[in-house]
Structure 1
Amino acid sequence: MSTSEATERRKRDAQKSGTRVGTYVYGIVPADVEVSADAGGGVGGPSAKVTVVRHGDIAALVSELRLDRPLGTPDDLMAHEGLLDATAAEVPVLPVRFGAVVTNPEAVVEELLAPHHDEFHAALDELEGRAQYVVKGRYVERAVLTEIMEEHPQLADLREQIKDQPEEATRDARIRIGEIVDQAVNAKREADTQAVLDAVTPVSTLTSLRDPSHELDAVHLAVLVETAREGELEQALGQIEERWSGRVELRLLGPLAAYDFIVAQGSGGG
């Protein structure tokens, strides 16, 4: 039985049982992309077979989705991003926002591919040979607090004031300590982010600052890089990592889909 025949059979079975089935959309890819017949693991679990809906020079990666199940679990998000990231390592892909569901494959063409064909095709051309990488750096807490104490001598005085004192009696001093530390971390984050930007910009096509995800984040940055220059990116970051040894824990994630640079608008609802 072919994939299309199996898909139609599942739809008929779902209709007989009264279950509504929609088409979940992951992203836009070139029309010549092929998906193996046993590709699964999409949103909805291992049985969610990923297929391709084509129109002209572009296509959409999709899978069936039962509409009687909740959408938005951590597993769903991981499946969505996992499929896109695996695809981005091989071919250009325009991510569609998580949660995009349309009525059926025909609606994918009518509502998404046909109206935006030229726009998506041009964007895929721009992404050819490129992928997103994310640079994450987190301060080693003891190291950064030692730096801040050395740079702000008044902290030692404030800490002495609150030593062995009731919390209520030292409220103002504690608030002041928190303010000084927060301001110092923010200033360091700004300077250290700029240092990473200076290092990666020469090998990047585009860069995008991300909001901190933790109070001790030193840098959180997305970069669009030619995959052939991944080694240069790693080398540039390696020099910073060596300089920051024991102070910042630095990680490079990727290749990933270009979430921070190009996201195709998908249809929502069911």
Structure 2
Amino acid sequence: MPADSAVYVYGIVPAGIETDPQARGIGGATVTAVRHGELAALISELDLDRPLGTPEDLLAHEALLDETAAVVPVLPVRFGAVLANRTAVVDELLATHHDEFLTALAGLEGKAQYVISARYVPDAVLRDVLAADPRIDQLRAAIRDRPTEAARDERIALGRLVQAALDERRQADTRSVADAVAPLATGVVTREPPGEYGAADVAILADLAREHDLERAVAVLAERRAGQLEVRLLGPLAPYEFVADLRPEARTWDS
């Protein structure tokens, strides 16, 4: 390995896996495996003169892990983990945490993470919010024709009422989405939905063999809430929400 290069670590997998010769990681580098005992680390060489932390780098990191998770159990290592060389991968990562990682991988056998993401249809949710709370509609009517500055306090109050109503609706819809897929999951994590009109963001750990069942459950949910919610199923993904935050205590770059 050249003196100006190091090893970038993507994740931990069972030692028996064979890497795809076509698999590419950050910067288009070939992905290989470093093995120790019953574990292997997916790695690629990294030129230390090259900046690390671009959106393209993060996408390459996640893509490699997600593609792996669709085939074998994988413990994702946090983005930006770099070690000096292959020996350091063994000494500082695989050997040190061998039994811990092996146990975690056993719990992920045949499983991957899926995400159910739901977004409100803006006009529909605002219409529902207005219908559900007469105070909001009354306040809107009271300030509709008043100058902006003259009705400043009322407009602030209106914004707070709408936000509170959306927050309450978002909590209820997050529970509804989680309940719809929970029977197919071995783990469920609810997260803050992104964006002004995010309705739900639910990560689950589920058997790969039940993916079609999960697709059907999400399709039923989407049909039931058609016109109110736009629902998407993402996955299979690496189980980011269901493993400890793995990061070698070595040279790293934050994203």
Q: Give, as a single letter, the amino acid of the residue that structure 1 aligns with 2:251.
A: G
Could you tell me how far 1:234 is from its partner in structure 2? 1.7
* Matching residue of 2:121: 140
The Cα shift of 1:39 comes to 3.0
Q: Distance in 2 between matches of 1:238 and 1:196?
A: 12
Rounded to whole Å, the distance in 2 between the matches of 1:244 and 1:156 is: 24
Residues 220-245 of structure 1, C-alpha deviations (whole Å, 9 max, x = no match): 01000001111221222222111100
Q: Aligned runs of 1:103-252 on 2, under 5 Å?
A: 103-252=84-233
Tell me, yes or no, if structure 1 residue 83 matches structure 2 residue 64.
yes
Against the structure 1 CA distance between its residues 63 and 86, is the aligned structure 2 distance closer, same or farther, given a 3 Å change threshold? Answer: same
What residue number does 1:262 align with?
A: 243
Aligned residues between the structures: 251
Could you list the runs of 5+ residues in structure 2 that have no partner in the other structure?
Answer: none
Amino acid in the other structure paired with 1:257: A
- Residue 13 of structure 2 aligns with an amino acid whose one-letter code is V
Matched, 1:99 2:83: no
Distance 1:236 1:212 in 2: 20
Distance 1:37 1:247 in 2: 45
Larger Rg: 1
Q: C-alpha distance in 2, partners of 1:52/1:110?
A: 15
Over residues 9-64 of structure 1, what are the superposed CA-to-partner deviations in whole Å (9 max), with x where a residue is unaligned?
xx2xxx4xxxx211000000010111133432x11x12x11110000101000001
Secondary structure of the 1:84 match is: helix
The root-mean-square deviation of aligned C-alpha atoms, in Å, is 1.2
**How does the TM-score come out when normalised to structure 2?**
0.95
Preserved CA contact (<8 Å) 2:178 2:190: no
SS in 1 for 2:19: coil
Give me the whole-angstrom Cα distance separating, in 1, the residues matched to 2:157 and 2:131: 17
Report the AA paired with residue 120 of structure 2: Y
Structure 1 gap segments, 5+ residues each: 1-7
Aligned-partner Cα distance in 1 for 2:234–2:151: 43
Offset of residue 173 of structure 1: 1.1
Q: In the aligned structure 2, how far is the partner of 1:26 from the partner of 1:117?
A: 16
The structural deviation recorded for 1:264 is: 5.1
- Answering whether residue 20 of structure 2 is matched by residue 36 of structure 1, we say yes
Contact 1:28 1:264 in 2 (8 A): no
Q: Identity of counterpart residues, as a percentage?
A: 53
Structure-2 separation of matches of 1:38 and 1:250:
33
Distance 2:23 2:60 in 1: 12
Following the alignment from structure 1 to structure 2, what is the Cα–Cα distance between the partners of residues 264 and 194?
26
TM-score normalised by the chain length of structure 1: 0.90
